[in-house]
A and B are shown apart, each in its own frame.
Chain A
Amino acid sequence: MSKVFLALVLGMLAIVTVAMFLSTKDKANAVLIVNDLDGDKERIRIGGKVSNKDITYDVEPEFSLKFYVEDKLTPAKSVPVVYKGIKPDMFDAGREVLIDGDFKDGTLFATQLLTQCPSKYEPPE
């Protein structure tokens, strides 16, 4: 039993590991911070804060949200973001956001924009 059993466990582990590596190869986003953005780069994830600079939101001819994002701790520089989609709930200046997208010619083209929940499990001040 134990040998066959071990073989089964290892076999399963091998299958899953291979599947995992095949899937992560073209599906991973590099996590960067705003201050490190320099030069074109595809598939990145940025965590940051919505800057106080102007936010524009158009619904025609298509949904388009334009704003600037900066690092939440050291806002050394702010980067323009273009998101073609509906403005998420609670989106506002100062809010923390997670952005997935491509950085091209100094602009971050977001494919996904998530506003982070504000109050859950914040440490006491």
Chain B
Amino acid sequence: MNEIGFLSLLVSFFCSVAAAVTARKNITLARASIILSGISSAISVFILGFLFLNNDYSNQYVWQFSSKEMDPFYKFAAIWGGMDGSMLLWAAIQGIGASIVARDIFRFPKNLANNTLLFLAISNIFFLGMTLFLTNPFQYIKSEIIPLDGNGLNPLLQNPFMAIHPPIMYFGLTWFAIPASIAFAALISPTKEWYQYCRAWTLLAWGFLTAGKVLGGYWAYIELGWGGFWAWDPVENASFIPWLTGTALLHSVMVEERKGMLKLWNIWLALATYSLTVFGTFLTRSGVVQSVHAFASTDIGWVFLLYLGLYLSVALFFTFRVKHTPDRHIESFISREAIFLLNNLILLGIAFATLWGVLFPVFSEWFTGQKQTVGIPYFNAVNVPLFLLMLFFMGVGPLVSWRHTTLAQLRKQFLAPIITAFIVGLMLVWAGVPGFYPILSYSLCVFVFLTIIKELHRRKKEPASFLRTLGAHTVHLGVLLATIGITASMAHKIERDFVLSEGQSYSVGRFQFTLKELTAVRSSSFEELQAVTEIVDTKSGDIIAIRKPASRFYYKKKENTSEVSILKLLKGDVYLVMAGLDDSGTKAAMKVFINPLQSLLWIGTGVMIFGLFVILSQRAYSQRT
């Protein structure tokens, strides 16, 4: 089977090469090759999955990341448990995306079609080539005897959210190759309204990336026992930066659509977003920066840089060589296009500051000889104010119309929302909510919410585009919910450590925790010590819940993990960690986090994805008719 998997990968690679060679001469042939390449790479993923499900330890990769006692679901998920398989999956998901574009390629104008196929093929070739020549997962184990059992997957990764998080991320990250390929094609042969061929793809990729990032955060939250969901780790930032530029792209193509402006800007945003996804892959696999995720310093990183350098140099060359029709001028700074542009710049500012933070160890070593690193305080200090500024303009956007709004009109539109937001802010101060940024954040959310309602009310009269507007504003409502969740859980988090013997209690805020008993539980793959804890609401005296956070020991990997228990209440989460026993073995060391309104982040993301579906369904509808 190893050979078949490898062969299918090889076929996929050469099909993409064939597509690149024929793209500019024979579209039909190139189209067929791209589709075949996508199918073939998907087949090799399934063959690897088959090897995993069959416990075929003659394969080095399968042996390394799987073992017999694992659940079939996790055996399959182990495909992307390591570098080789994750590269294969990356290449395959990109290949499938390219196939779907190729299927509809005849809808494209001819010049755009052949260059789009060319750049899709180039992207495919790069990732398939990497997988094939540098990280081939179809290798025989380097041992005379085939082992009876595998090495096993890291227990932390054996969680349903972790299992589905990487593929969803890859759909998001790799599908940004599609807008980039179309943008590159439009750069070489200027096409009017090129963005209409890639807007749906940009939205899809953005949606997957959003969902993937939040799923990853949710996994970290429920699995890692530190009570948080985001730590500005290089790996998180590596996909956050393209998310930011992708968000900017989604908005600025609307300016091009409405006003015929920002054409080159949009093309370059699409190229930059794709390049940043590739750069992120480089960061996480080169060992250039240190991270919680122990990415070893493999040599493959530099190949990514070489590819990026070439890709962007060619793009730069065509930017200066090809004559584009000049943009139309911006007429007024009190116009929607100006606000969009401003928010584009803020998003890029956040992306730039984040990238700077990630690469700070590299730069500081270059300039001062001493490697330095920045962490959470830096990212929060720079990005929080920028984000709040963006939130403000997110509210201003709907208040101003395209082209021009007079100051008088603006004042009229502005007054009610801004006064209400101000009053809410004052009330929060009066209620004793601490901190300037949190209060500003809540007030801005109220302001944006009111402007969205105003806009929806006004747009009701245009039924043709109402659903699309509704979808877009639903995404924004999701952003507001998530913002409130993030603000509250970060700013008003309570964290306490305590030690309890059986029967003892500890109070935090209005909650009282009583350790009822310590019980040992054994299973085939682990044993765990559960701290059966009763949670009482001291105000009403009711027992809210009995929870069993545990400290778990996996036999096979000889690893300790803590199994947290999270009580989700409307007002927030009560997050309990059992951190082990004291030396006498009778007292449980525990940790509790109280994260106000934490669930709003997850709910808000759901609302964002729902809004995206509404927009996409409208696009599909308008394309059919």
What residues make up the interface of A, taking CB atoms closer than 8 Å to B? 1-2, 4-5, 8-9, 12-13, 15-16, 19-20, 22-24, 27-31, 45, 47, 57-60, 62-63, 85-87, 89-92, 96, 98, 100, 112, 114-124
Contacts and interface: CB of A to CB of B under 8 A. Distances in A.
Given A89-B560, A116-B292, A60 B587 contact: yes
Given A100-B375, A117-B154, A120-B154, A28 B296 contact: no
Given A59-B499, A90-B560, A121-B82, A29 B285 contact: no
B345 interface: yes
Q: How large is the interface on B (under 10, 10 to 19, 20 to 34, 35 or more residues)?
A: 35 or more
A27 B378 contact: yes
B483 interface: no
Interface string B584-605: 0001010100000000000000
A8 B361 contact: no
B374 A121 contact: no
A98 B290 contact: yes
Nearest to A26: B377
A60 B293 contact: no
B382 to A, nearest CB: 5
B625 interface: no
Given A19-B385, A59-B580, A63-B589, A120 B81 contact: yes
Contact of A12 (B86, B346, B374, B587): B346
A28 B360 contact: yes
B83 interface: yes
Interface string B347-386: 0110011001100110010000011111101100110011
Nearest to B81: A119
Contacts of A114: 292
B293 A121 contact: yes
Contacts of B156: 89-90, 117
B529 interface: no
A111 B511 CA distance: 28
Nearest to A124: B60
A98 B290 CA distance: 9
Contact of A23 (B370, B372, B378, B499): B378
Nearest to B330: A1
A116 B292 CA distance: 5
Given A117-B292, A121-B86, A28 B562 contact: no
B579 interface: yes
Contact of B582 (A2, A60, A98, A121): A60
Interface string B149-189: 00001101100000000000000000000000000000000
Given A19-B382, A59-B499, A123-B83, A9 B261 contact: no
A86 B345 contact: no
B285 to A, nearest CB: 6
B580 A87 contact: yes
B577 interface: yes
A92 B560 contact: yes
Interface in B396-429: none
